[in-house]
Amino acid sequence: MPTELTTPTLLLVGGARAIPLSSDMTVQALTQARRRGMRTHVTGEAASLAGTPEVRALADITSAVDFARPGNTAEWARDRVAAGDRFDAVFGIQEMAQVSVAETAEAVGAPGNPPEAIRRIRAKDACRAVLAAEGFPQPAVRLCADRAEAAAFLAETAGPWIVKPRDAMGSIGVSQVFEPARLPAAIELLPSDDPFLVEEFVDGPEYSVEGFFQNGKPTILAITAKEKVAPPFFVEVGHVLPAELDPAVRIEIEQQVGDALTALGLRFGGFHVELWLTPSGVVLGEVHGRFGGDWIHRMLAHAIPGLELFGAIYDDMLGRADTSGDLRPARGAAARYMIPPPGRLTAIEGWDEVRAHPAVLYADLTAKVGDRINPVHKSSDRVGVVVVGAETPAAARELASELVSSVRFVVES
């Protein structure tokens, strides 16, 4: 049997947020590491570690380390290695942990993306600048310090426009501006007074591309079709995987995404790339050096039987990757979020029947009787989700919609 000195060790940076999605992904990541005989050391903020006992139960070691402080995790890891520890693979689930993941991998000599590449994609305007310089169609964008700079950008470009934080997640502070008079209201929705982005609105159906790197090259697993709430907000309320696309369009999307990831300098881990299909072709959106949220990891596991999403990352980092298998979706999956009308919730009917449906891969209801239902302006305003698997994407989409529609929310305005 391998000894502790020869057993590869996974450092999982950032642990999990104390919410079901983050915890579920982290539990799967740790379980798949254990199946590969890896020891696991999980770091994260003390409160998050305390709030995720299921993660602590699976980890061999946990340490309270604040991954949000620049360089903090890398410095901690260097000290641990100097004291005799080893980290063969460094990984993270959370979006906000990705810079620390890259810095730490570099610090301990483990495989990883260059930190500057991760910082580049985290700053959305910097990512757009690189893609535009490489010849990829991109909307005009400007980093603005205040309302005056934003108003100047509106005066120079054709609307409508999008106002959003430079570095955030969950659709927080993202809104559409149809006319300059609405700009102040959009700025008020931003989560902080930090410089923010204003960019041209891209009109077209939205998709995302899911995959991971093998031997330094991107492997695309699936394209996901998205549905969002009506403007001026852009919260995702539905996903179907794989997207039902003309083969030529699918090939064009995959080619552009693969080329863009390479141009941005990424080479390890998972990725989630957003894009639009416009009359003039593919326009790439945000690029993420981690897997997509909204239960896409569960959808992929159903659509590609036998896939271990996180385990494939570890295999690549440890030089064990097998690139000969078929990683194309053989089935369909869909996720649908519940968005009842705003008001005070007085009753919920039909939920138990939905949870018991045999095709449900995951179901969660976060609202309870007596809660106040808010309009959906950000991801956390959604009150529940149903994720289903089926033989085809069309069947999965139809079933998810049917199940969500069968739940009745009684709301008093």
Given this model, what pLDDT does residue 216 score?
A: 95
Domain spans of the chain, in order of start? 9-110, 140-200, 204-330, 335-412
CATH dotted code for 204-330: 3.30.470.20
Residue type, 147: R
Q: Which residues contact 279 (CB under 8 A, 6 or more apart)?
A: 204
Residue type, 331: R
Cβ–Cβ < 8 Å for 28, 94? no
Fold for the domain defined by 140-200:
Dna Ligase; domain 1 (3.30.1490)
Given this model, what pLDDT does residue 2 score?
A: 47
| Maximum distance among all Cα pairs of the chain, rounded to whole angstroms | 69
Given this model, what pLDDT does residue 400 score?
A: 98
Residue type, 385: V
**Whether the predicted model's global pTM rises above the 0.75 cut:** yes
Q: What's the burial of 78, exposed, middle or buried (CB within 10 Å: 0-12/13-18/19+)?
A: middle
Given this model, what pLDDT does residue 1 score?
A: 40
Token pair for 249? 């369009």
Q: In the CATH hierarchy, which top-level class contains the domain 335-412?
A: alpha beta
- Reported in sequence order, the residue ranges of 244-342 that DSSP labels E, i.e. its strands, are 270-278, 281-288, 332-338
**Torsion angles phi and psi, residue 22, rounded to 5:** -65, -45
For 390, the enclosing helix (H) or strand (E) is strand 384-390
Cβ–Cβ < 8 Å for 376, 327? no
Same fold, 204-330 and 335-412: yes
Average pLDDT by stretches of 10, the chain with 413 residues: 71 96 98 97 97 98 95 98 97 96 98 97 95 97 96 95 85 91 95 95 96 96 96 92 97 98 98 97 97 97 96 95 81 97 96 97 96 93 96 98 97 90
For Cα atoms 110, 211, 60, give the angle at the middle one, nearest 5 degrees. Answer: 45
Helix/strand number for the chain, H first, E second? 14, 19
> CA 303 → CA 24, 76, 291, 326, distances in Å?
18, 39, 16, 12
Cβ–Cβ < 8 Å for 334, 395? no
Q: Which of the four CATH numbers 1.10.132.20, 3.30.420.480, 3.40.640.10, 3.40.50.20 does domain 9-110 have?
A: 3.40.50.20
Q: Which residue reads 């149809």 in tokens?
A: 178
